[in-house]
Amino acid sequence: MAKNRMSGVIPLGIGNLVHLEDLEFAGNHLHGVIPEDIERLQNLKFFTLEENLLSGGIPASFGNLTQLLTLVLSNNELNGSIPENLGSLHRLTSMTLSFNRLTGAIPGVIFSLSSLTDSLLLSHNYLSGVLPPQIGSLKHVTTLDLSKNNLSGEVPGALGDCKFSILISR
C-alpha cells in the first residue's frame, strides 16, 4: 500500500493481521501514532512507514517483533527516545529512523545487533550523548549514518576495526 494518497490513521485493529509478513505504508499521508497492537504481528519481516506524518513515540512493543528484518520509520514526526528493547531484534539487517524528532542517547544495545549487515541510519534527529563502546560491534554493517544530531564526546577507538561508511557530523 506504499506510495498512494492514503490518509488518516493506521487502524487500531491492524494487530489482527497476525500472519502478515510485509507491511509497507511508505509515502502516504498517514498521521497519528503507531498503534501498540502492531506487536501482535509476530510474523512481520518488513515494516516500512517512511514518508508519512506519524507522530508520538516508537512503541516499545516493537521489541517483540523478533522476526523483523527491516524497520524503516524515517521522514515522519516521531519523537521521544529510541526504545532500548529494539536491541532484542536479533534478525534485523536494516534500521532507518532518520529525519524524525528523536531525542536522548542511542541505546548501546542497538550497536550490539550483530545482525545489522545493511544499514543503521539515525541521521537528522536530536539524539545526544556520547557514542557507546558497543559501536565497535557493528563489524558487518555497510552504512552507519549518525549525522545531523547532537552527539558529543570522543569517537570510540573501537570504530577502527569496522569496515563501513560512517557519517558523524553536525
Task: Point out the least confidently predicted range of 40-54, 106-120, 134-148.
Answer: 134-148
Task: Concatenate the DSSP letters of all residues of 132-155 into one string.
Answer: PGGGGG--S-SEEE--SSEE-SPP
> pLDDT tier at 161 (50, 70, 90 boundaries)?
low
Residue 70: phi and psi, rounded to 5, are -130, 130
Amino acid occupying residue 141: V
**What pLDDT does residue 33 have?**
96
> CA-CA distances (angstroms) from residue 129 to 116, 145, 150?
22, 16, 7
**What pLDDT does residue 166 have?**
57
What CA–CA distance (Å, rounded) separates 77 from 161?
34
Q: What is the DSSP-derived secondary structure letter of residue 22?
A: E
Per-domain residue ranges of the chain: 7-167
**What pLDDT does residue 73 have?**
98
**What pLDDT does residue 140 have?**
87
4 pLDDT above the threshold of 70: no
pLDDT in tens, 25-64: 999 999 999 999 999 999 999 999 999 999 999 999 999 9
19 pLDDT above the threshold of 80: yes
**What pLDDT does residue 132 have?**
84
125 pLDDT above the threshold of 60: yes
Hunting for cell 492514503 — which residue is that? 6
**What pLDDT does residue 124 have?**
97
44, three cell numbers: 512481520
Q: Which CATH number fits domain 7-167: 3.30.365.10, 3.40.1190.20, 1.10.3720.10, 3.80.10.10?
A: 3.80.10.10
CB atoms inside a 10 Å sphere around CB 53: 13
> pLDDT tier at 77 (50, 70, 90 boundaries)?
very high
107 pLDDT above the threshold of 90: yes
> What global pTM score does this model have?
0.90
Amino acid occupying residue 89: L
Average pLDDT of the chain, as a whole number: 90
Task: Concatenate the DSSP letters of all residues of 43-91 into one string.
Answer: T--EEE--SSEEEEPPPGGGGG-TT--EEE--SSEEEEPPPGGGGG-TT
